[in-house]
Amino acid sequence: MTLISHKIALDVMSIRRDFPILEVKMRNNKDLVYLDSAATSQKPNSVLQAEARFYEQVNSGVHRGAHYLAELATDQYETARAKVANFVGAKPEQLVITKNATESLNLLAYAFATQNSSLLLKPGDEILVTEMEHHANLVPWQQVAEKTGAKLRWIPITPAGELDLSNISELINKKTKVISFTHMSNVLGTITPVAQIASLAKSVGAKVFLDACQSVPHMSVDFATLNVDAIVFSAHKMLGPLGVGMLVATEELLDEMPPFLTGGSMIEMVSMDKSTFAKAPKKFEAGTPNAAGIVATAAAVDYLNKIGMNNIQAHEEHLTEYLLAGLAQMPGVQVFAPNLIERGSPVSFAVAGVHPHDVGQVLDDDGIAIRVGHHCAWPLMKKLNVTATSRVSTYLYNEQSEIDAFLTSLERVRSFFGVK
């Protein structure tokens, strides 16, 4: 098989030495080829060490206690908040720390279904999503529509895997109150036209929310220039730890939103019959936060900044182009949306007559980790006329030889199952 070659934009061998998990042997004593970063990314030593160091040297609850460790913990927590906020072009007071992006999206949705909220939707109002949403940005809005009587509508996708905007002026109208959509599809890699949608939304006074879980780790994202009201993203997809999510929103929206969880740390005053709440972001951070996690997330931001987001994006573009060229030469392999004008690294495909789980099993025997299944996007699977797909997704620590290993293993899948 003859494939195009590319100039590698990063010193990948040096980067790989920072990720201890890449030395782990898989079943059959195979080297790990990790191609599942759209699900969760691996963590460099600096991130692992930052989290361990917090527990070893600082461990204390934040925003409480007058002793030295409590002061250190609070300072590190708020310093990390500022660093992560700055990474996406926001101010510290605009960043709410949650346990994952799903919670962040539910926090947003909750505000539109809560009685006495100034944002409460009513029958006749409309919520707009897209046909390519992750369940985390669909199910909460389904629940809001059910509770309030608002109507849920969606932007369809074209056969090419892009949003079909041919009817967008009808979909975005005076009844539209919320538009919530993905910045980059976790299945197809489609990068959506945020500026166009946001501009139309603002013209009718709708709030605009962006699921940036797949974009923030892989490209420069600047909240201040996106013209949206909120974005959400997850630490674990951007070299950070599990269990840390982010919600970045305008200060006006945060002031309007009621708290999602109540209890300690988010209050201003409490009596036996009434409570008042602190200002954002604290009013959305009830209980003891994952301080070690956000400190480690700040270390991930440092690592990404050191490499450079433009360099990371260019490197992934090289690998994705190389991957797509290889898949195009394989009979019986269907790539979904292979010719996107703007795309990220997720590439979904199907092998004729072979269930994706069988594809994944053969690859796993060769030490190659990919994602198989519906990718928490059942409506999109239905639109693609499949029950599941196999998905490859790369990141800064992947090298071209790993794409070669994947393509060789996929040839073994075709041969084993007799795919012509």
End-to-end CA distance of the chain: 16
Contact 53, 73 (CB under 8 A): no
Q: Which of 290, 204, 241, 225 is nearest to 88 (CA)?
A: 225
**Placement of tokens 């709440």 in the chain:** 277
A 10 A CB-CB count for 279 gives 12
Contact 70, 59 (CB under 8 A): no
Q: Which amino acid is at 407?
A: L
**Placement of tokens 């999602």 in the chain:** 260
Q: Which amino acid is at 168?
A: I
> 273: helix, coil or strand?
coil
**Placement of tokens 């997720």 in the chain:** 346
Task: Please identify which of the residues 8, 39, 204, 376 carries the catalytic annotation.
Answer: 376
**Placement of tokens 């260019």 in the chain:** 314
Residue 243: C-alpha distances to residues 101, 234, 290 (Å): 9, 8, 8
376 is a catalytic site residue? yes
Contact 113, 144 (CB under 8 A): yes
Per the structure block, which two tokens stand in for 412? 């073994």
Q: Which of 67, 33, 62 is nearest to 368 (CA)?
A: 33
Rounded distance between C-alpha atoms, residue 5 and residue 112, angstroms:
50
Contact 245, 102 (CB under 8 A): yes
Per the structure block, which two tokens stand in for 290? 């994952």
Per DSSP, the residues of 154-216 read EE-B-TTSSB--TTHHHHSSTTEEEEEEESB-TTT-BBP-HHHHHHHHHHTT-EEEEE-TTTT
Active-site positions read: 376
